[in-house]
Structure 1
């Protein structure tokens, strides 16, 4: 993806410096899915700064799924990313890459879960074709998933098992289901 090349350059320079470093990998952030939720804390806590829906728009009952929808994708809540990064500071040694995730599943399974919650979903599948323009980042991220590049090796989950993560079911249940009012 175009926006990722600058990160690779920085990581190469850090590697050359001899400093200890890690590249945190978290996959797709699920907080986008709280967009449009009727719960009072959806904007503050559910979205956690994410101002629009990404791929799955539960509020508008649409999904624009990359590829076939059967490619594996790792999903993580932004709050869980923060907990892992804070915990990683206390680790003895950092690995070159440390991934984390709440759950690895497919977009088709996410849409199925949303439908099981009683919502209708209009689903569009996007091929691997690439487009330019204002949606370039969005389309490149979707293209990466369609190529099967959405799954993260969740090494931090193994190194810091005490962090209690939210998966797809819990996140959707809190913000769109009947599991509460969006409170933990």
Structure 2
């Protein structure tokens, strides 16, 4: 976000589930005392395609600048991602002191494949959100507004 650049796996139209860590904590705290847990628990904070998320980020950041904000968007082909190749974002270089570049590239490309295939479009019908409807989640717009917006 700082460099107004986005690398998007695939065509960017596949929905992705976004869940803030504080939401995970609240849901876990709410279910910790139940007798029977499902084998897999799903929490859906928000869901949208990455193209939509980029537009949202542009809108939120644009409120801080009189001319608005437009991101440079690069689409990574799923076949390239499967081969471990992805677009390196400017912010990644800062991580290379802590983690090797090859490791981060492999991790990022694998994650990109999951996004492009729809593996991160989690099924809301079996989510904890259904059994705990009183627990609200942080929406991506609210998160971006708090992190990058004026409010």
How would you bin the TM-score normalised by the shorter chain? 0.7 to 0.9
Q: Give 1:163's aligned residue.
A: 135
Whether 1:103 aligns to 2:22 is no
Q: Is the 8 A contact 1:100 1:153 kept in 2?
A: no
TM-score by length of 2: 0.75
Q: Give 2:92's aligned residue.
A: none
User: Pick from 121, 124, 138: which aligns with 2:108?
Assistant: 138
- Aligned mates of 1:97, 1:78 — CA distance in 2: 17
Which protein has the bigger helix share?
A: 2
In the TM superposition, structure 1's runs of 4+ consecutive aligned residues that sit over 4 Å from their partners are none
Q: 3-state DSSP class of the match of 1:79?
A: helix
1:106-150 Cα distance to aligned partner (Å, 9 max, x none):
100011111222122110001112234331011101111111111
Q: Shift of residue 79 of structure 1?
A: 1.0
Q: Shift of residue 97 of structure 1?
A: 1.5
Q: Is the 8 A contact 1:128 1:146 kept in 2?
A: yes
TM-score by length of 1: 0.62
Q: 3-state DSSP class of the match of 2:12?
A: coil
Whether 1:149 aligns to 2:99 is no
- Aligned mates of 1:178, 1:91 — CA distance in 2: 41
Unaligned runs of 5+ in 1: 1-57, 180-184
Q: Give 1:178's aligned residue.
A: 150
Unaligned runs of 5+ in 2: 63-68, 85-101
CA pair 171-84 structure 1, distance change in 2 beyond 3 A:
same
Q: Give 2:37's aligned residue.
A: 94
Q: Give 1:79's aligned residue.
A: 22
